[in-house]
């Protein structure tokens, strides 16, 4: 019999794999691989025309494009450490940006330039319009589409504005990664790779993530609210993303003064995103402090645990303590405990906000079961759950009566196909 499916519990789904996510990721990876083949062919053709080794150009461009990605992804994930998003969904967003969004943008941008901008405005003006208007509309639409898909299929994953920003940042970073290879490849054959790398890889690597973060904020608003006007939020976010993107592309054609002003605007937007994430972090800590104390009488959480859960340094120290006390399994169990407790607090926050999932009782019981098993593991022992002494109506608040909790663990085990795990030896 299988154990508790930790990943399924924390992601708020059943134990079966998500077919939609698997299909979406597969399509995105195939498109990304197709783009790599296309870029390789461009490198070979460019190298043959210039009398330079095209393979070297491709490898150098690829490595140069990896540099900003290796900086951006940790920074994006740093925003959402209390309740990190599922890695499988984050990878899907990145692959969509690097694959589907780039392929769609490459085709539509070329069509817009050839069939719309140039015929209507001529080569020079048409080229400027294609860069400043057509490209931002096409690219932000291609990137934003995956955020709408997540809103439709994974709405429950988006608890805060930061979640929307994180998903937007991942898809935009993926897009910039593939796009940068294309730009660096052209610069390599033109002999100005260093200058292009400084501009795109060092000076303004956060451009795409900031633009698309506007859509992420709009999508998060739609996920977090129930008013009818919520449908307008993603549209407003898309308009802001297109505006910022178009401003940057237009400024790039006006010289350093215009580029400097545009850079300042994008930087202010980036600081605003960081400020918004900080506010979300404070709200999550407040939710932990508000909704977990009623569970203290269950023995699954203590006052010290609540303090620990509200501080990233103390969470890290707790994982280190669990590792010393119960080995690698103890450390993993402490991490699972921290995530489950945080998800439990956010679940109650959703209930109070009037937007609970239909299966919120199953989710609550699953989080409690995972906290129980994880706590036993990092303490290095196995014990029976303590019956709670605190009582409140479960229909209104989502908390449990004294008589309910003893059944919760058994029900969650049955729902997940649970088989008890043995705690590591040597802990106390």
Surface-to-core class of residue 246, CB atoms within 10 Å of its CB (0-12 exposed, 13-18 middle, 19+ buried): buried
Give CA–CA dist 119/114, Å, rounded.
7
CA atoms within 13 A on the CB side of 179: 25
Per-position pLDDT tens, the chain of length 428: 345 667 767 766 554 557 889 999 999 999 999 999 999 999 999 888 888 889 999 999 999 999 999 999 999 999 988 888 999 999 999 999 999 999 999 999 999 999 989 999 998 899 999 999 999 999 999 999 999 999 998 888 898 999 999 999 999 999 999 999 999 999 999 989 999 999 899 988 999 999 999 999 999 999 998 888 889 999 999 999 999 999 999 998 888 888 899 999 999 999 999 999 999 999 999 999 999 999 998 889 999 999 999 999 999 999 999 999 999 999 999 999 999 999 999 999 988 888 776 778 888 988 999 999 999 999 886 444 433 333 333 334 455 544 455 555 555 445 444 333 333 333 32
Buried b or exposed e, range 162-196, using 16+ CB within 10 angstroms? bbbbbbbbbbbbbbbbbbbbbbbbbbbbeeebeeb
Alpha helices (H) in 225-359, listed in sequence order: 232-251, 256-291, 303-309, 312-352
Positive/negative CA dihedral, 175, 181, 187, 192: positive
Determine how many CB atoms are found less than 10 A away from the CB of residue 351: 18
Angle between helices 312-352 and 360-379 in degrees, nearest 10: 160
Encoded tokens for 321:
């303590």
Q: How far is Cα 227 from Cα 209, in angstroms, rounded to an integer?
A: 28
Q: Report phi then psi at 234, rounded to 5.
A: -60, -35
Residues 155 and 162: their CA atoms lie apart, in Å, by: 14
SS3 382: coil
State the number of CA atoms in the 13 A half-sphere of 201 facing the CB.
24
Contact 383, 359 (CB under 8 A): no
Q: What is the pTM of this model?
A: 0.86
CA distance 387 to 398: 17
């Amino acid at each position: 019999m299988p154990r508790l499916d930790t990943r399924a519990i924390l992601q708020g789904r059943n134990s079966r794999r998500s077919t939609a996510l698997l299909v979406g990721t597969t399509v995105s990876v195939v498109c990304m691989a197709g783009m790599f083949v296309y870029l390789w062919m461009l490198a070979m053709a460019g190298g043959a025309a210039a009398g330079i080794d095209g393979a070297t150009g491709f490898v150098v461009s690829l490595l140069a494009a990896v540099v900003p990605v290796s900086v951006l992804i940790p920074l994006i994930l740093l925003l959402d450490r209390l309740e990190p998003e599922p890695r499988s969904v984050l990878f899907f967003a990145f692959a969509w940006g690097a694959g589907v969004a780039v392929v769609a943008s490459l085709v539509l941008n070329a069509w817009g330039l050839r069939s719309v901008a140039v015929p209507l405005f001529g080569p020079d003006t048409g080229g400027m319009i294609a860069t400043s208007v057509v490209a931002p509309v096409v690219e932000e639409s291609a990137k934003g589409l995956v955020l709408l898909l997540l809103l439709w299929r994974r709405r429950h994953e988006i608890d805060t504005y930061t979640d929307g920003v994180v998903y937007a940042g991942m898809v935009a970073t993926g897009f910039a990664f593939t796009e940068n290879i294309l730009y660096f490849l052209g610069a390599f054959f033109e002999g100005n790779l260093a200058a292009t790398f400084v501009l795109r890889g060092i000076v303004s690597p956060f451009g795409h993530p900031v633009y698309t973060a506007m859509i992420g904020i709009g999508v998060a608003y739609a996920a977090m609210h129930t008013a009818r006007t919520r449908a307008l939020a993603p549209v407003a976010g898309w308009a802001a993303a297109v505006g910022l993107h178009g401003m940057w592309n237009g400024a790039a054609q006006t010289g350093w003064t215009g580029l400097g002003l545009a850079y300042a605007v994008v930087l202010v937007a980036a600081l605003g995103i960081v400020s918004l994430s900080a506010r979300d972090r404070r709200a999550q800590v407040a939710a932990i402090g508000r909704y977990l104390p009623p569970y203290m009488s269950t023995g699954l959480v203590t006052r010290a645990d609540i303090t620990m859960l509200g501080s990233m340094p103390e969470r890290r120290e707790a994982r280190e303590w669990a590792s010393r006390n119960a080995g690698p399994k103890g450390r993993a169990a402490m991490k699972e405990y921290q995530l489950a407790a945080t998800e439990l607090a956010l679940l109650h926050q959703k209930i109070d906000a009037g937007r609970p999932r239909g299966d919120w009782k199953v989710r609550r019981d699953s989080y409690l079961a995972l906290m129980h098993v994880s706590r036993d593991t990092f303490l290095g022992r196995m014990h029976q759950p303590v019956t709670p002494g605190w009582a409140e109506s479960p229909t209104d608040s989502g908390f449990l009566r004294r008589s309910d909790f003893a059944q919760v663990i058994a029900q969650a085990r049955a729902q997940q196909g649970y088989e008890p795990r043995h705690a590591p030896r040597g802990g106390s």
